[in-house]
A = this chain, B = another copy of it.
Amino acid sequence: MSAVRVFAPATVANVACGFDTLGFALDAPGDIVEAVRQGPPGVRITTITGDGGRLPLEAAANTAGVAVLALLAALDDRGTGIELALHKQMPLGSGLGSSAASSVAAAVAANEVLGRPFDRAALLPFVMQAEKIACGAAHADNVAPALLGGFVLVRSYEPLDTVRLPFPDDLHAAVVHPHIELLTADARNVLRKTIRLDQAIEQWSNLAGLIAGLTLGDHALIGRSLKDTLIEPVRSMLIPGFDAAKQAALDAGALGCSISGSGPSIFALTRGRADAESAADAMVRALETYQLGSDRFVSRINPHGAVVL
């Protein structure tokens, strides 16, 4: 059997005011998974590269494996054997949806080798099961944009209801990943379980503005709305140099800037690539003054999500 290779992209979840409900896809970085139909029934991970030996080869404990196991279970397929090779090409624990990129690439690749029994959106429940292994909850705000591309709103989980949002063609993202590692669980534990109603109103007013700005192609409104007055003030304390990097991005012309997912990566949205390059450079320099090295990524908003290579 011939192998299928799939690339799935990094994603920025939360997007400032859209905590646990909004995410978008980048062009790069991302992960590649090769899938081939061979061997005895079940899912085997034959190779993992780029993870520094940190990810488990056991399929049921690895997000890529879990996604494919869920896909086979949905087909009630107990006879097929699928072997996966996982090539991590992005940092783990970065807040850029590393586990989502792996599970989405694996699910799309396995779906291809099986003759595409599911359309793209129908793979979402399988990769959500993988997220449950990775971060304890079946969140969709990374996996949905990694799978479908663009900006995706997760309006509801029961029933699952995702909405692909239009966005301006020239919207770009600057992302820096400071060389520190946060675990999603830690970043989640710093959050309060209750909030004041007036804080919630401020947050959802900004989210409403962001959704309107994206769908109407209003860059200034996107910028005014890219505010997280609820989560960022708490989580940013875990990221040395965050305030300086954010200010540097805004000074360099970014529309807005906040924490990517649960951090430590920081993203900025810009109008056009040139501003994104400037914002990324400015954030890297700001973090250097805190003795923090970082990786930088500049990308348009990836409109299609995972791709078969």
Residues of A bordering B, CB below 8 Å: 17-22, 153-156, 161, 163, 165-166, 191-197, 200-201, 203-209, 211-212, 215-216, 221, 224-225
Q: How far is the CA of A165 from the CA of B154 in the complex (A)?
A: 21
5 closest A-B pairs by CB = A204-B204, A155-B209, A200-B200, A215-B215, A211-B211
Q: Which residues of B contact A163 (CB under 8 A)?
A: 209, 212, 221
Minimum C-beta distance from A138 to chain B (A): 14
Q: How far is the CA of A77 from the CA of B18 in the complex (A)?
A: 45
Given contacts A194-B195, A200-B200, A206-B155, contact A161 B224 (CB under 8 A): yes
Copies of this protein in the assembly total 2
Task: Identify the closest chain B residue to A17 (Cβ).
Answer: B204
Additional A-B contacts beyond A17-B204, A194-B194 (13; CB < 8 A): A18-B204, A18-B208, A19-B201, A21-B201, A21-B204, A153-B208, A155-B206, A155-B209, A156-B224, A191-B197, A195-B195, A195-B196, A211-B215
Q: How far is the CA of A206 from the CA of B196 in the complex (A)?
A: 19
Q: How far is the CA of A165 from the CA of B224 in the complex (A)?
A: 16
Task: Identify the closest chain B residue to A199 (Cβ).
Answer: B200
Minimum C-beta distance from A179 to chain B (A): 30
Q: Which residues of B contact A206 (CB under 8 A)?
A: 155-156
Q: How far is the CA of A206 from the CA of B211 in the complex (A)?
A: 12
Q: How far is the CA of A159 from the CA of B74 in the complex (A)?
A: 51
Q: Which residues of B contact A197 (CB under 8 A)?
A: 191-195
The residue that A153 contacts in the complex, of B22, B191, B200, B205, with Cβ under 8 A, is B205
Q: How far is the CA of A215 from the CA of B21 in the complex (A)?
A: 18
Minimum C-beta distance from A153 to chain B (A): 5
Q: How far is the CA of A208 from the CA of B194 in the complex (A)?
A: 21
Task: Identify the closest chain B residue to A19 (Cβ).
Answer: B201
